Amino acid sequence: MTTDQDRDRNWQDRRERHARFVAASPMMTIRIVRPIGPYKVGETPTVTAAVGNDYVARRYAEKT
């Protein structure tokens, strides 16, 4: 059985791991094919891979 303290520590660990993952994720350039957020069609912003993968996943979800 886990105590509240254990659970809090687990969450802290996960937040720290996630922060490290985001900081370490490589940059990728994505081509905008439809306006999204601050970007206009045709722009090629460089974003972190985490953001880029999210964008790609969303684009794929829109298509299927």
Strand-pairing partners, residue 47, are 28
Number of domains the chain contains:
1
What pTM did the predictor assign? 0.34
Residue 16's φ and ψ, nearest 5 degrees, are -65, -45
What does the pLDDT look like over 42-63, one tens digit per residue? 777 777 666 767 777 776 666 6
Give residue-wise pLDDT tens across range 8-44. Answer: 888 888 888 877 776 666 767 777 777 777 777 877 7
Which residue segment(s) compose the domain that 36 sits in? 4-63
Place of tokens 């520590």: 9
Longest pairwise C-alpha distance within the chain: 54
pLDDT of residue 1: 61
Q: How many Cα atoms within 13 Å fall on the side-chain side of residue 1?
A: 2
| pLDDT value of position 48 | 66
Give the helix ranges, DSSP H, for 1-64: 4-24, 49-63
